[in-house]
Structure 1
Amino acid sequence: MVCRKLFHLLTLLPLLPFVLAHKEPKTEQEIETQRALQRAAYYCAPAVAEFTAARKRRFAQKVLGTNNVQSALPGYEDLFADGTFVDGSAQDADQKQLMECSPVRESHMQNNTCVLTPVVTEGPYYHKEGHPIRTNIAEYQIGLLTYLDIGVIDVNTCKPLPNVLVDIWQANATGHYAGHPDPLPELRDEKPQVGGKRSGLLSAFPRTKFEETWLRGAWPTDENGVVQFTTIFPGYYTGRATHIHTKVFTSWEPLPNGTFRSPSSSSSSPSSSSSSSSSSPSSRGLAHVGQFFFQDSLNLQIDKMWPYSTNPIKHTHGRTRNWRDSLNIFEDSHGPEGEYDPVFRMELLGGVITQGLGGFITMGINASADLDNWWKG
């Protein structure tokens, strides 16, 4: 696909060194720069639809198995062991037959366009150091098995981006983040904010368990610009819609302990840092900050399942619906014109929901962006 009008739209993007992901654009130049990025990604929508559809077809083929016989729910290695998608012209008759009987719903994919950046805050629970490089982030957390298939494209070219590091982190089934189990002692009886943009929120819980890493991890995209994670469906906490956080790094440094550091979070400059992605489109580090969401109807069904049903605020403050998300994060994730979709498209892994879910989404990012890696609140 040829992306037209991109040159004109993207000429504004390199002009500003600020980080729109962490604050609202206020000046006319900031607002126009953000809109230019989002309009540019809009022109990539057909490429994104094709990109996502091919991945879902490949996934469906693996779930269904060969000869239209599914003897058992496939494991992680069965689903994600090799390439993430294949070109339709390379499929044989058996594969085409599998596609015809698969549960893939193409109409859903057409609306799953770009999750754009910069748009929203990273939140207070990101660990600037210590996120493991791994694809299975669940550890021993209990919850509904969830596979995430995340594609990354560059809005400058509408092409998939290989070898960029996708970093994600999320709450567990009862709404807690690794390392942050309790509020400050003096805030144990704090009540959620009433009214205003921060409605429903509590003060951030401090990090007190530095050894905890569950539901945190990062992995580079493959040659097709795709990365997959094994996790559990996230739980909810007061004031926020159910979500998963993400960052994308175009340059990073692996550490001996199995974690990574980005140039923008280290004391050294990007030009002097050792990078594991020398062939990536940029050596600047952080290129994306965003959040993913899920359909409210799905959230409500999973609320009935254990251990989600044991969420401590279920019968007090309760779940925050997408449309009431504090700080307008869910709304902001759709872009100024509301043209973009930050919601995972989910598929059943088995015959019933309790066997797990697979989620698909594609991010459109500006690979030449240069964002600093710290939270501004």
Structure 2
Amino acid sequence: MTETQVPLEKRDMMRRRAVLAGGAALAATGMAAAAVTTASAGEDTAASSTGAKNGTRNGATATGAGEECYRLTSQTTEGPYYIDADKIRKDITEDKEGIPMTLRLKAIDSDTCKPLRGAAVDIWHCDALGLYSGYESASTGGGGGGTPPTGTPPTGTPTGAPTDTPTGTPPTGGPGGGGGGHEEPTDDKRYLRGTWLTDKNGFVEFKTVFPGWYRGRAVHIHTKVHVGGKMTDAGYEGGHTCHTGQFFFEEAAVLDSAKIAPYSTSTTERTTLTEDTIYDQSGVQGGLLKLSYRKNDMARGVVGSLTMGVDPDETHDGTDL
């Protein structure tokens, strides 16, 4: 039956339904515009947002036998401020101020594409002003108050020439927790550190705050993935570390965070993502997070997500680079 053969009342009803459907689509478009999503270079944003439904995640497609599965996520040094996985928890915030952040991670075998079930995922990062728990006296954060130096400054002009030559071994590690080597903790604080096991689908989720920055490094979160061990009362023990890496943040999101207290009180010069010496500029493979938050209302919270392609048979403890 053609449109001219349809009774007038039915034709009017069909048109009304079409108008209502179009209005609903416009409303949905308006709601989507209220959120900001930063996608990693080369990543299909639409595919990422629907990945859970279609068997894809962060640009990795659902594959069959014989097809390429997932590229290995870049390995990095662990940095000098790592503390063993002794805080088994999903909420690592403690009492730290900052933009609330949910970090959603998935660990998969990069060869088979199968999720890593029961893998222990460590994360640790600095607070909103660049300080690491366990190493507050060694961290290089700045701004937001603090106690000024006390005592009387020295007077007079130095005289004479320096004597002797420096002895000892040069300090290890890069600027502000980015390089290799390891330092022993200087205090017993453990905020913004935690370990949790992946579920049967390889997922793990942490509650934390958006990290700040410190001299020499772009904004980042450290991570390790451990397999083959078990949870004990003392933490995660045994097995081996199959991945050591870092997660990074798009510049636009960092600039948005810098408008909000306490980040806005920082007086530390910031290193951009392109200037960072650890990030390899490879997008998702290099650890660049997908971030979602409300436009002009970032203070309400941020969601960051990433799939880590790792080789569970390898050992990468951050000292092999």
User: Which category describes the TM-score, using the shorter chain as reference length?
Assistant: 0.5 to 0.7
CA contact (8 A) 1:169 1:246 kept: yes
CA displacement at 1:150 relative to structure 2: 0.3
Deviation at 1:171, TM superposition (A): 0.5
**Which structure carries more helix by proportion?**
1
Deviation at 1:153, TM superposition (A): 1.1
1:354 to 292, 299, 320: 299
The aligned residue for residue 115 of structure 2 is: 160
- CA–CA distance in 2 between the matches of 1:235 and 1:350? 20
- Output the CA distance in 2 between the equivalents of 1:177 and 1:246: 14
Matches within 5 A, 1:126-275: 126-128=82-84, 130=86, 132-183=87-138, 207-209=185-187, 211-257=188-234, 259-261=235-237, 263=238
TM-score w.r.t. the length of structure 2 is: 0.64
User: Which has the bigger relative contact order, CA under 8 A and spacing at least 6?
Assistant: 2
What is residue 51 of structure 2 aligned with on the other side? 54
- CA shift for structure 1 position 260: 2.3
**Percent sequence identity over aligned pairs:** 33
Q: Residues 249 and 109 from structure 1, CA distance in 2 versus in 1: closer, same or farther, beyond 3 angstroms?
A: closer
Cα deviation, residue 213, structure 1: 1.2
CA distance in 1, matches of 2:201, 2:112: 14
- The answer as to whether partners of 1:135 and 1:228 remain within 8 angstroms in 2 is yes
Change (3 A) 1:125 1:365: same
Structure 1 counterpart of 2:274: 323
Give the letter aligned to residue 119 of structure 1: Q
Local SS of the residue matching 1:128: coil
Over 3 Å counting, the alpha-carbon distance change for 1:321 and 1:181 in structure 2 is same
> Greater share of strand residues, 1 or 2?
2
TM-score normalized with structure 1 length: 0.55
What one-letter code is carried by the residue in structure 2 that aligns with 1:260? Y
Give the Cα–Cα distance (whole angstroms) in 1 for the partners of residues 51 and 214 of structure 2: 35
1:330 corresponds to which letter in structure 2?
Y
Could you say which residue in structure 2 is the equivalent of 1:5? none
Aligned-pair distance for 1:357? Answer: 0.8
AA matched with 1:208:
T
| 1:115-135 C-alpha deviation (Å, 9 max, x unpaired) | 7345210100001353x1111
Q: Closer, same or farther in 2 for the Cα pair 1:154/1:129, shift >3 Å?
A: closer
Distance 1:321 1:114, change over 3 A: farther
Residue correspondences, number = 237
For residue 78 of structure 2, what is the amino acid of its counterpart? E
- Tell me which residue corresponds to 1:123: 79
Equivalent in the alignment of 2:162: none
Residues 1:140 and 1:300: Cα distance change in structure 2 (over 3 Å): same
Distance across 1 between alignment mates of 2:103 and 2:230: 24
CA displacement at 1:218 relative to structure 2: 0.8
| C-alpha separation in 2, matches of 1:255 and 1:200 | 32
- Counterpart of 1:303? 258
Give SS of 1:208's match. Answer: coil
Give 1:354's aligned amino acid. A
Alignment of 1:357-372 (within 5 A): 357-371=302-316
Instruction: Kindly state the Cα deviation for residue 353 of structure 1 after the two structures are TM-superposed.
Output: 1.4
Task: Choose from 278, 288, 291 the match for 1:343.
Answer: 288
Which one has a bigger Cα radius of gyration? 2
CA distance 1:201–1:344, shift in 2 (3 Å): closer
Cα deviations by residue, 1:252-299 (Å, 9 ceiling, x for unpaired): 232324x323x2xxxxxxxxxxxxxxxxxxxx4211010000101110
Over 3 Å counting, the alpha-carbon distance change for 1:248 and 1:199 in structure 2 is closer
Deviations 1:130-177 (A, max 9, x none): 3x1111011111100000110111011012222111111011000011
Q: 1:159 to 1:111 in 2, by over 3 A?
A: closer
Does structure 2 conserve the Cα–Cα contact (< 8 Å) formed by 1:115 and 1:362?
Answer: no
Q: Is residue 114–residue 340 contact of structure 1 (8 Å, CA) maintained in 2?
A: no
**Residue number in structure 1 paired with 2:169:** none
Post-superposition Cα deviations, 1:311-368, rounded to whole Å, max 9, x if no partner, equal 242xxxx110011113xx112x63xxx7835211111269821110111110000011
Query: Equivalent residue of 2:51, what SS?
Result: helix
Q: Residue in 2 aligned with 1:268?
A: none
**Contact 2:290–2:304 at 8 Å: present in 1 too?**
yes
Contact 2:118-2:200 within 8 A present in 1 as well: yes
Cα pair 2:176 2:214 within 8 Å, conserved: no
Map Cα deviations across residues 11-66 of structure 1 (whole Å, 9 max, x no partner): xxxxxxxxxxxxxxxxxxxxxxxxxxxxxxxxxx99xx9787334xxxxxxxxxxx
Tell me which moved more, 153-162 or 212-221. Answer: 153-162
Closer, same or farther in 2 for the Cα pair 1:357/1:200, shift >3 Å?
A: closer
Q: Distance in 2 between matches of 1:181 and 1:249?
A: 26
User: Displacement of 1:220 after TM fit?
Assistant: 0.9
